[in-house]
Amino acid sequence: MTNNTALFPSFENMDVVENQLTKKLQKLRSAPRGRSATPNNPSETWRSILADFTFDQATSLDELMDWVLSSLDDGIVQMTHPGYLGLFNPAPTFPSECADRIVSAFNPQICVWSHAPKAVEIEQHVIRQLTKRIGLPDGADGHFTSGGAEANSTSVLSALTAKCPEYGEKGVGAFSGRPIIYASAESHLAWFKIAHTAGIGRQSVRLISTDGAGRMDTAALEREIKSDIAAGHVPTMIAATAGTTNAGMVDPLPECAEIANQYDVWFHVDAAWGGAIIACKENRHILAGIEKATSVTIDAHKWFATTMGAGMFFTSRPNVLAEVFRVKASYMPESDAQNDFYVNSAQWSRRFVGLRLFLSLGAAGWAGYSDHVNHSIQLINELTAGLIACGWTRENDSQMGVACMTPPEGSGAVQQYVSRVQESGQYWVSVAQFESRPVLRACLTNGRTTSSDITGLIKLLTK
């Protein structure tokens, strides 16, 4: 029997190291404005040190962690920085950080109910509370995923199986024609990767033109469906977006639902980011029609601000999941399609990620999350108003916490402004495309960002 104290130290030594790590992390977290939001690229010296870690010799854990902390302190875009107004990556809630430490200590295998019955039921409870908040019918269910890509992939597999039950056994050849997925040209383009891996091919994805304001054009959608039917193809799924990546726009969900019903196709809503609006009673109308979806994607690690890797998939037809992911294996216990995630989701071994949202929702309640979402919207509106007063133009008519802006000089000058911001290190914004033209994109998910931070960004962009 080995006695590797580096991997399995005494509990007393673990306690000392954990306390030291907590203090080091707290020191880094307590001064976010003191570091640059923009990363330093790896130097030759840094790469040389990394190359020396051949693992032929053991190194002190303290030394290793100090090196990693130093590397992350200046070697990544700082998503926890209050000046980060970049992608959807949030500064995580403290309860979700606590959840990760708890889960790491117990390390449960959550894909099998019999191995972690209480952990499984905590996740199921969170999912079912969110199905109610979305407005899905009684009996709706779902599960946590690694992220929005897995959740959206699950929607495609479910739609294909629902449309052609033989797909699971015979593959795409069971269809009478090419199955087709419809999504907005402004949608997250993971649909092509998903179509590839689902075996239906990238040519099965139809990107529907927008209405000129970033929303799917439903007249164009219906024309495309009719054309595909005439060509012998099989319309299978409409994927509407509730919070586009570039501009936070919401496709016309009620109209998409009506078209999906008319042509008997699966109606999916990708609300990976914008789905957090369900927390806000006063803004719930922004997502009107999401309750009509056959399935929905929401990422807890976006606007719900948990730590990374916590997507969610919801469906009004959970029986289809049991068909998509059914499997029997002699080394697994007798499966229960309702409670065993390994037979109703893609993953077999999975982290207990649902605890992140359980602790966050439990600690803040829906009202606390409503305040968090409204905080983002309010500060983006302050940024927009301040820039418009200085001659900038807002391009997107979004009611969410994202603004697409062009400077007085026009879209051709966007890159120079973004470069100025990133080079300052005080803030981080990005260049995006909105209706085929470059814009400065500012998106806020950090609950610690303040009005003074926004004022500083306005000054930087208008000096």
Pairing of strands 266-270, 295-299: parallel
For residue 285, what are its two tokens?
């109308």
Element (H, E) at 263: none
Q: What is the pLDDT of residue 10?
A: 93
Q: Is the fold of 108-359 the same as that of 366-462?
A: no
The dihedral built from the CA positions of residue 28, 33, 39 and 44, taken in this order, carries a sign that is: negative
Architecture of domain 366-462: Alpha-Beta Complex (3.90)
* Phi, psi (deg, nearest 5) at residue 141: -155, -170
Q: Domain 108-359, what fold?
A: Aspartate Aminotransferase; domain 2 (3.40.640)
Give me the residue spans of the domains in the chain.
108-359, 366-462
For the chain, list residues with pLDDT below 70: 1-3
Q: What is the pLDDT of residue 334?
A: 75
CA pair distance 15, 423, nearest whole angstrom: 40
CA pair distance 238, 264, nearest whole angstrom: 10
